[in-house]
């Protein structure tokens, strides 16, 4: 992954990134739902849970669509994306419509749940950018760190 030109690899994401985003989003959703039990009404908690569920389903469908598109020919991709998009947004529309009709949803809580995956993506990419920037910008002399030569090694240091 490391090449000679570090400016091109400033935001290079590995293969496990989407799965880690899904896992982190799931755990963050559980934490938000549990916290909303003590601070919100029952319907507010249900609204957060519905939003988190829809958000996780949309992300998983998007990741599955991208994986499918990478494996198949270019001529098949456009029609497949159209079909999946129609099905995906149809399902999400039905889920949101039924949640709004049959439940007394809290719009703010639903929006919070819907934005969970986006929040995790922004945090993960932002932290990756910050770490890469700090690694590139901060120059530390490797000759003498803390009075210890870098060429000699001491146990426990």
Residue 140: band (very low, low, confident or very high) from pLDDT cuts 50, 70, 90: low
Residue 40: band (very low, low, confident or very high) from pLDDT cuts 50, 70, 90: confident
Residues 6+ apart with CB under 8 A from 26: 56
pLDDT at 23: 94
Task: Return mean pLDDT, the chain.
Answer: 80
Highest-confidence range of 38-42, 54-58, 98-102, by mean pLDDT? 54-58
Residues 6+ apart with CB under 8 A from 119: 28
Of the listed ranges 8-12, 29-33, 74-78, 104-108, the one predicted with least confidence:
8-12
pLDDT at residue 26 greater than cutoff 50:
yes
Yes or no: say if 124 and 20 are a contact pair by the CB < 8 Å rule. Answer: yes
pLDDT at residue 1 greater than cutoff 60:
no
pLDDT at 3: 47
pLDDT at 147: 62
Residues 6+ apart with CB under 8 A from 105: 43, 46, 47, 50, 99
Top pLDDT among 73 and 37 is at 37
pLDDT at 92: 85
pLDDT at 13: 73
Residue 78: band (very low, low, confident or very high) from pLDDT cuts 50, 70, 90: confident
């Amino acid at each position: 992954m490391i090449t000679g030109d570090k400016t091109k690899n400033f935001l290079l994401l590995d293969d496990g990134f989407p799965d880690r985003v899904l896992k982190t989003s799931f755990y963050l959703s559980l934490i938000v739902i549990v916290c909303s039990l003590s601070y919100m009404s029952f319907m507010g908690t249900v609204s957060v849970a519905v939003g988190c569920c829809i958000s996780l389903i949309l992300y998983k469908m998007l990741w599955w669509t991208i994986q499918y598109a990478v494996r198949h020919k270019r001529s098949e991709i456009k029609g497949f994306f159209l079909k999946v998009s129609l099905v995906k947004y149809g399902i999400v529309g039905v889920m949101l419509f039924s949640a709004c009709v049959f439940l007394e949803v809290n719009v703010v809580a639903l929006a919070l749940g819907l934005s969970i995956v986006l929040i995790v993506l922004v945090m993960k990419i932002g932290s990756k950018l910050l770490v890469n920037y700090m690694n590139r910008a901060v120059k530390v002399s490797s000759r003498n760190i803390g009075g210890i030569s870098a060429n000699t090694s001491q146990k426990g240091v």
